[in-house]
Amino acid sequence: MKNKIILFDLDGTLIDSTQAIYESFCTAFKAFNKDTPNIESIKKLIGYTLEDIFIALGIEEKECPQYITAYKEHYRQICNKKTILLENAKESILKAYEFAYLGIVTTKTGLYSKDLLQHFNVLQYFHCIIGRENVTKPKPNKEPILKALEALPKGISNSHIYMIGDTPLDILAAKEANIQSFGVLSGYASLSMLQKYTDKIARDSLEAISIIQSI
């Protein structure tokens, strides 16, 4: 019997789409004759919205929509080919599915998220996919988590609801939504960074799932 809810972030938690993301940013910058950013500057920002990332990279807010369009047009063409499941990710999904209802809460577009999960043959294990287009306020706001919980079975206490993610955005959103969280080291935030926000840290999603199952 399932007695928990587990929400997963996507990039850095279950998948590595760094190559696809970086290439799409470079394509967008080149489309408007701008110098392309270096990959490290992009990796530090993965998890934020595309608009916030472009602004952080020096693009004016009013110009962001055209950059985002160029990004998405390229990303849509390459995302499946240039994204991989992280090590132990599928195992963690299968293990979690045995005892919990599962959802995805990501800042990535939900449509692309579904396509990627289908590509990796794991979409069927998730009861809901909450992406950027499904909310007004993305993580670290609690709205995406609350939106996911609306689509999941009721009656499970917040002490048995978990958000697993690789950045402070995931942990902060969980805290605001008054649910539990685990930070994982498989993605874009360092151990020292995650330790500023939580003491519940695992190597990857599989270790986090194993701990949650034992609680």
The pLDDT tens digits of the residues spanning 98-154 come to: 999 999 999 999 999 999 999 999 999 999 999 999 999 999 999 999 999 999 999
User: Taking all residues of the chain, what is their mean pLDDT, rounded to a whole number?
Assistant: 97
pLDDT given at position 31: 97
pLDDT recorded at residue 1: 82
Tens of pLDDT, residues 47-69: 999 999 999 999 999 999 999 99
pLDDT in tens, 178-194: 999 999 999 999 999 99
Structure tokens at 44: 């530090």
pLDDT digits (tens, 9 = 90+) for 198-207: 999 999 999 9
Q: What is Dmax (Cα atoms) for the chain? A: 56
* Mean pLDDT confidence for 7-15: 98
- DSSP code of residue 11: B
Written as one string, the DSSP assignment of 158-186 is GGGEEEEESSHHHHHHHHHTT-EEEEETT
Phi-psi region of 2 (alpha: psi -120 to 50; beta: other; left: phi over 0): beta
DSSP, res 133: G
What sign does the dihedral 186-188-192-198 (CA atoms) show?
negative
Please state, for a pLDDT cut of 90, what percent of the chain lies above it: 99
pLDDT the model gives residue 151: 96
- 172 pLDDT tier (thresholds 50, 70, 90): very high
